[in-house]
Structure 1
Amino acid sequence: MDDVYMDQMDLKTLYRFSWTCKELNDRVLGYMRRAFCPKNLFAPIFKPNEHLLFRLLQFKTGLVIS
């Protein structure tokens, strides 16, 4: 349920929301790990396990996505 609400918040709001108490801090950190996991972000673009090869290419060449 947290993801439904946190998906609607910008990063600044999430950051401030995490300051309110330890429980919400833990929830926000968990959300950030799930929401910004490279594997999940690349899922619409790459087949399973192809994202690892792309990450290796990024590491070796300094490639940055902006």
Structure 2
Amino acid sequence: MLALVGSSGLTEPNDDLLNALVDAIEYLREHGDAGREVKGHRDGYDTSCPGDPLYRWLRDGAERP
């Protein structure tokens, strides 16, 4: 799954993006083999991706806005 949030332009994930991510997560859990855990790139690699605002949302449980 992919959310495009950068260091310029769109830097704060808006409600539309967050709701789309939750929709995708729910779909993949229902129709695919996605597990319960949601992580950002920085959980596996030395990177700042997906950015502090989106990562904070992930760590807080990726709830709908």
Q: Same fold (TM over 0.5)?
A: no
Q: TM-score, normalised by structure 2?
A: 0.29
The structure showing larger relative contact order (alpha-carbon pairs under 8 Å, at least 6 residues apart) is 2
By percentage of residues, which structure has more helix?
1
Q: TM-score, normalised by structure 1?
A: 0.29
- Structure possessing the higher radius of gyration over alpha carbons: 1
